[in-house]
Structures are given as structure tokens and as C-alpha cells.
Amino acid sequence: MVKVLLTGGSGFIAAHIIDILLERGYDTVVTVRSEEKGQKILKAHPNTPKEKLWYVIVKDVAEEGAFDEAIKSNPPFDYVLHTASPFHYNVSDPVKDFLDPAIKGTTGILKAIKAHAPTVKRVVVTSSFAAIVNVKQHAKVYSEKAWNPVTWEEAMDPAQTYRASKTFAEKAAWDFIESEKPNFDIATINPPLVLGPVVPYLNSLDAVNTSNSRVSNMVQGNNKDGLLPTGTFLWVDVHDVAFAHVRAIEVPEAGGNRFFLVAGLYSNKDIADIIRETYPQLEDKLPPKDSSSDMPADVYGFDNKKSIEVLGIKYRSLRESVSDTVKSLLEVGV
Ligand code: NDP
């Protein structure tokens, strides 16, 4: 049996990764911050035996040695997927709230594996388009070759803190491989905005995960007076992101690579239009029909070839993703 440790098991993307790991027969152990979250995950999989799905508590990934016990397992782990990292926009202390957990969480798990888990062959780190994008001067075409040039000083600006946390964490991972030369290799998954079904056992009316909040805001009528700015114009569906994490452990040549997981361009106007078409009963909650798109004509392009060729990703459409997201939101009572 092949055994996988998945950090941040209570997260949106992680919940979809759990489904794929179980479907494909992996023994899966997740890290969560509390017993309560661990029990919720087990309860949501009532027919899965505990040898197939279990949890261990890691209260705060930023703590020194946070993963030292979680990584010791019998039978031992073969692979690690590291998704745990803060993702929200409430920045009060940039270092404590974001930079420490992102960076120390990433170096912490790599150190723990090197010290205590010699059977681990590969670690897949969930990075982000945030570690690629250059908001000051967009690339013509974004690909895995680009790095966000953000500095530590700029990271103190709350508007940049999250993106900086992902950039420095991913850099720290590659630096660790370079300097420590461990027995395992790494791959990183770099998605932009991730949309897709919210996880019923984790979400409620007032606690929808960050990346789906623009869809839930529209569905709740919060943008009735007008569309909010889109921000960055790239997106991907959560099923494809989750599948990419699992393919990144299955495909030998994935090691040593970043994977830019991007389905396409979108704007908030496209999301509103899809909701209007697929859920006409929500019409009176949506931004005005004649709102125009804020996507510039010369918007950047993207190159997702590597994810298709190496990982075999077949990207879902925006229409399918948005309508699945709305369906899931209505099911949890949004
Ligand atoms: P979620 O907020 O749903 O998941 C984040 C996970 O990280 C949760 O399990 C959370 O635990 C855990 N976590 C956060 N801080 C800590 C900490 N200090 N100690 C322990 N655990 C912690 O977000 P997503 O699923 O969307 O994000 C997962 C990963 O994907 C992150 O690395 C994020 O940066 C990345 N990503 C997400 C994108 C998106 O659009 N969703 C786009 C690109 C990258 P808890 O539930 O207890 O808070």
C-alpha cells in the first residue's frame, strides 16, 4: 500500500485531494489543527476504514518541530502533500499571521521528513500563481518560468502579504532541496483562483472558503449594485488542482518541476453571466445584466502546456465550475 501524508486536511483544496487519494487506493493521513476537525473529516467518510483515512493533530505549522511527530508513522509514509498555509485577507500581523506559517510550515515539513521519514520519495507543495505573478509589470504570457519579484519590505503591505507568503514559502522549498540535498524531490502546484464545489462538512453560510467567496457574494446579493474588480484574470477548477497534486506523486518525471495549473481567463462578469444562465431564479440577486467586463483587451496570456503534457490535466470549463460551485453553495444554505 502506498501511504500519503496530507497537511491542512481541513482545507477546501485538501478535501478534494482526500477524495481522489481514497478513490485511487492510497492510505491517507491528514494533519488538522483540532480533534473536532479530524472527526468531521472521518464522519464525512463513514465507509472508509481507519487504515485508509486517519488524522493527526498539528496545531500550528509555524511552530519549531511542528511535524516531527506527525511524520513518524507505521507503516511509514511514501509521499507528502503540503497544502497547509493561511489563505484569507485579514492581515493584522503579516509575519505572524502569514509569513511564518507559510515559510516555516514549508521548511518545517521538509526538515521533519529529512530527519525522520527516509521512505518519503516526493513532496508536493501547494504553491500558487501568487508566486508567479508580477503585479507591477505583468508578463505577456505567464508560465512556470516567472517568479513574483515581491520583497520582504513589500510583504508588510497587507495587499501583498498573502502573495509574498506563497512566494517566499515556495522559494524556501526549492532552496532547501538545493542546499540540503535530501533523499526526496519536490514538485509544486501553482494555481490561480480556485473555484469549485464547497465542501459541505467544512462550510456554512458564514464560512465559505476564500477563493469561492466571490461566487457566494454574488449568490447572496452582495454585489447587486455592481461587479467588484476581478483582480487577476486566471482561474482553475478545484477538481483539476486536486488531481494535479495526486498526479504529481504518480508521474516520475513530475519531480523537480513547478506546475502552473490554469484553466483559462475569466472576469467577474463571466461568473455573473454563467450564474444568470444556469440559475435564472437568482437573477434578482446578481449584479446588473448590462455590467461590463473589466478584462483589458491586452490582458496577459498563460502557458499551461506542462500541466497537460506531464500531469495529463484535462481542464474543466468555467461554466461547469461556476454552476457546480453555485449548486454546492445552495446546498449548504448560502
Ligand atoms: P483553506 O483556507 O480552505 O485551507 C487552508 C488550510 O491550511 C486549512 O486546513 C487550514 O487549517 C490550514 N492552515 C492555515 N494556517 C495554518 C497554521 N498556522 N497551522 C496549521 N494549519 C494551518 O484554503 P485552500 O484550500 O484554498 O488553500 C490550500 C492551499 O492552496 C494553500 O496553501 C493556499 O495558499 C493554496 N492556494 C489556494 C488557492 C485558492 O484559490 N483556493 C489558489 C492558489 C493556492 P484550518 O482549517 O484549521 O484553518
- 243-252 pLDDT, tens digit each: 999 999 999 9
Which atom in ligand 1 lies closest to the alpha carbon of residue 9? 9
**DSSP secondary structure string for all residues of 266-332:** --HHHHHHHHHHH-GGGGGGSSPTT------TT--EE--HHHHHHH---PPPHHHHHHHHHHHHHHT
Instruction: Name the burial class of residue 73, with classes exposed (0-12), middle (13-18) and buried (19+) by CB atoms within 10 angstroms of its CB.
Output: middle
- β-sheet bridge partners, residue 5: 29, 80
In this prediction, residue 203 carries a pLDDT of 64
* Cα distances (angstroms) measured from residue 318 to each of 9, 130, 191, 238, 300: 26, 20, 15, 11, 18
Can you list the domains of the chain with their CATH numbers?
A: 3-198+234-264+301-318 (3.40.50.720)
pLDDT of residue 206: 63
In angstroms, what is the span from residue 296 Cα to ligand 1's centroid? 30
Q: How far apart are CA 242 and CA 19, in angstroms?
A: 9
Query: What is the model's pLDDT at position 90?
Result: 86
Name which residue sits closest to atom 29 of ligand 1, judged by CA: 83
Cell, residue 243:
488531481
Give the single-character DSSP code of 209: -
Determine if ligand 1 sits within 6 Å of the CB of residue 287. no
The alpha carbon of residue 168 and the mean position of all alpha carbons in its chain are separated, in whole angstroms, by: 16
| Atom 31 (ligand 1) nearest CA | 85
Q: Ligand 1 centroid to 30 CA: how many Å?
A: 13
pLDDT value of position 202 = 74
Q: CA 102, CA 61: separation in Å to the nearest integer?
A: 8
Task: Say how many Å lie between the CA of residue 237 and the centre of ligand 1.
Answer: 16
- Distance from chain centroid for Cα 70: 21
Instruction: Give the model's pLDDT for residue 204.
Output: 60
Dump the DSSP string for 40-76.
HHHHT-TTS-TTTEEEEE-S-TTSTTTTTTTT--SSP
pTM of the model: 0.98
pLDDT at 232: 96
Give me the residues of the chain with pLDDT under 50, please.
Answer: none
- Please tell me the predicted confidence (pLDDT) of residue 334: 79
